[in-house]
Structure 1
Amino acid sequence: MTCSMVVNSKSGNTRMVSGAIKRALQAAGAEFVHAAALSDDADPEQVALEAQGACTADTVLVGFWCDKGTCSSSVAALLSALHGKRVFLFGTCGFGASEDYYRQIIDRVSSNLAGDAELVGWAMCQGKMGPAVKQRYEAMLEQEPENARYKMLLDNWFTAKDHPTKEDLDNMAKAAKKAVLGE
């Protein structure tokens, strides 16, 4: 089984997950023939080049960070170019712990897949957010100290600060092995 991996990671969470997945698949005998990092603002030529490299494998693993419930436009463009490929999606987002929420994200992201591509599986986990996000939430709460939504956002920042955990990484790797290799 040959695999390729293309990862779009803003803060390092998705890159960390990609490493765990790649190590697990390699240990199980998968051969990686292409790996690339894709920036949020990749131009169409770069996206086309990465899609061409990714399509040399049997299965393409695409990692993304989630912003406002979906992936970046460069990931969306890459997905639309994966004609005839088996695809495994994995991502990280600041909010987590809800399979329903993760499913909504995957539904939005996978809607970008080429019509003849096959989504073989997916995995999502929570990821830490940067200090600027915390500062923004604190400023919002300072303006409206009784706002329950702002309190929830700040509480979630603290919950997310230690993610992805070893358990998250293990779960993501296990999901990838099951989907890609049937293990």
Structure 2
Amino acid sequence: MKKENYSIVFSSLTGNTKLLADTIHEALPKEDCEYFGVGKAEELLSEVIYVGFWTDKGNADQNTLELLGKLRNKKIFLFGTAGFGGSEAYYQNILANVRKSIDASNRVIGEYMCQGKMPLSVRERYEKMKEQPEHPANVDALIENFDRALSHPDADDLEKLRNIVTEG
């Protein structure tokens, strides 16, 4: 069986998705990696592309969506992080939105998502919301989620990803 070369392309706003990309890079044979980093679809000659993204309003970030829209005849493994976590259904909804940007000539060969820490400015925004007399009822839950996310991606998240890419 022919060995397939691969590329890993990612967009990472806070470093969470880069950590996932690094984990994939460490888990797979280095000699088969043709490209690692932020790139353009035209530069990606590999048949297998690992595409990483950060979540923006329930979908991948704009740069990733544009990249995915340009890929043709590739095997794509999607991986991403989201500040709001803890729900597989939420992750599946994000992945479904991302898949809408992938041309039908491509095939999604795997997916992985986990929670990622958010910038402190997000918690500060939640705290300011809480100070308002008529704040959203879920503001305490948002603050709790922020605090839970601080440790992610954690060792378990990275081990799950490592297992998926090496067993897939």
| Structure 2 unaligned blocks of 5 or more | none
- The C-alpha deviation readout for 1:37-68, integer Å capped at 9, x for no partner, is 25xxxxxxxxxxx11222x1120000000011
- Give the distance between the partners of 2:129 and 2:116, measured in 1 at CA: 22
2:42 corresponds to which letter in structure 1?
Q
Tell whether 2:94 aligns with 1:102: no
Query: What is the SS of the residue equivalent to 1:115?
Result: coil
1:53 corresponds to which letter in structure 2?
E
1:20 corresponds to which letter in structure 2?
T
**Inter-CA distance 125–30: structure 2 relative to 1 (3 Å threshold):** farther
- Give the distance between the partners of 2:108 and 2:18, measured in 1 at CA: 21
- Give the distance between the partners of 1:93 and 1:121, measured in 2 at CA: 17
1:14 corresponds to which letter in structure 2?
T
**When the two structures are superposed, what TM-score results if normalisation uses the length of structure 2?**
0.92
Equivalent residue, structure 2, for 1:113: 102
- Give the distance between the partners of 1:33 and 1:76, measured in 2 at CA: 21
- Give the distance between the partners of 2:49 and 2:61, measured in 1 at CA: 17
- Give the distance between the partners of 2:133 and 2:64, measured in 1 at CA: 36
Tell whether 2:14 aligns with 1:5: no
Equivalent residue, structure 2, for 1:162: 151
Query: What is the SS of the residue equivalent to 1:148?
Result: coil
Tell whether 2:35 aligns with 1:34: yes
2:119 to 110, 121, 130: 130
Tell whether 2:44 aligns with 1:88: no
- Give the distance between the partners of 1:30 and 1:116, measured in 2 at CA: 27
- Give the distance between the partners of 1:151 and 1:168, measured in 2 at CA: 25
Equivalent residue, structure 1, for 2:42: 52
Range with bigger deviation, 8-17 or 166-175: 166-175
- Give the distance between the partners of 1:69 and 1:176, measured in 2 at CA: 24
CA contact (8 A) 1:123 1:176 kept: no
CA contact (8 A) 2:129 2:135 kept: no
Equivalent residue, structure 2, for 1:46: none
CA contact (8 A) 1:3 1:30 kept: no
**What percent of counterpart residues are identical?**
35
| Structure 1 unaligned blocks of 5 or more | 39-49
CA RMSD of aligned residues (A): 1.6
Equivalent residue, structure 2, for 1:42: none
